[in-house]
Amino acid sequence: MSLNGSMFVAIGASFVAAMGAIGSGIGIGRTTSHAAGILSEKPELFGKMLVIMALPGTQGFYALVVMFLMMQFFGFISGSPKASLGQGLAALFIGILVGIIEFKTALDQAHAAIGSEDLVAKRPEESGRAILLPALVETYAILGLLAGVLLSLWVSAAAF
């Protein structure tokens, strides 16, 4: 079997989805593990900590959106994938770069969320502000999503 552009698109799309899911899984694992210790002593804080615990999971969704759109733009959804070798290699690099962005921001967001959980544990009235700390990292996860969508759209329409 020879490698063609569509195979590289599929590899790139798979990579972005895998990296986003892995990063989100690790991030949520860290935030929920940390929160469990706090909640064992202050279970009434669960509602205030739920969003903070879940924030690192958004990168998995963003990566899934990029994967789906890559598959859509290159005809996989309609059943007739078409991509030149140049388009396929470009899509592979997009998948790798966006996958790394989503993976890394999930881990960084988990780190920020753990600090926010500690803030809520000591000062529950600050839960609204505490959500903003990991949300700052979210900005870059969204930029990765946007870059992946726009670059994939551009590459799918380009003739190279």
User: pTM of this prediction?
Assistant: 0.92
CATH number of domain containing 95? 1.20.120.610
Query: What's the DSSP call for residue 75?
Result: T
Please report which helix (H) or strand (E) contains residue 1, including its range.
Answer: none
CA torsion 138→140→143→149, rounded to 10°?
A: -80
Query: Which domain does 139 fall in, by range?
Result: 5-157
Q: State how many domains the chain has.
A: 1
Measured between alpha carbons, how far is residue 158 from residues 21, 66, 122 in Å? Answer: 29, 18, 54
Cβ-contact 17, 65 below 8 angstroms: no
In which region does residue 79 sit, left (phi positive, over 0), alpha (psi from -120 to 50) or beta (all else)? Answer: left
Query: What's the DSSP call for residue 12?
Result: H
State the amino acid at position 107 in one-letter form.
L
How far is residue 19's CA from residue 137's CA, in Å, rounded to a whole number? 17
Measured between alpha carbons, how far is residue 112 from residues 47, 53, 118, 138 in Å? Answer: 18, 10, 10, 10
> Could you read off the pLDDT tens digit of each residue along the chain, which spans 160 residues?
456 899 999 999 999 999 999 999 999 999 999 999 999 999 999 999 999 999 999 999 999 999 999 999 999 988 889 999 999 999 999 999 999 999 999 999 999 999 999 999 999 999 999 999 999 999 999 999 999 999 999 999 987 7
Both tokens assigned to 55: 């924030």
